[in-house]
Structure 1
Amino acid sequence: MLYAAAVTTALAYPLHLAGVAAVRAAAAATMMLPEPVSAAVLSVLCLDERLTAATVTGTVVLLGAITCLALTESRLQART
């Protein structure tokens, strides 16, 4: 258990942050926004947490923001 918590986290976060540092700000934001959504989904699936209206609303807002960022980024890429 200690290995799963310490080693995988110690490897994952530096790699994730290196990837974020290597891309444009909009792409980095798009990569980082799903983290709270995945945390909420995993807490429901693994820990039997209940979804509240605030959690569902926040998830919808974040997924909408991710969609807008991805569409804007793809349009900018198409122009260049």
Structure 2
Amino acid sequence: MTQEKELTQQEFLEAFNKLSEGEKQATRLEKMLDSLEAKMDAILKQAQEAATAPTTQETNKSTEESSSQAPEPSA
């Protein structure tokens, strides 16, 4: 009877330790996922900014057009 009780306590201890390790691993995974999500958000923000920002070629063309349309100053 005593051995059976000790075995049950041993099993409980093993299960508790496994559960504790599982919780630690879950916490590590959550931190990794949070980091990955933050990196993905930063990449998405950069992509959106790049998509909405005018390209260098468009900016140069616009500058040239506005320069050619400006009246020359009279002397």
In which range does the TM-score fall when normalised by the shorter chain?
0.3 to 0.5
- TM-score under structure 1 length normalisation: 0.36
| Larger-Rg structure | 2
Q: Which is bigger in relative contact order (C-alpha 8 A, separation at least 6)?
A: 1
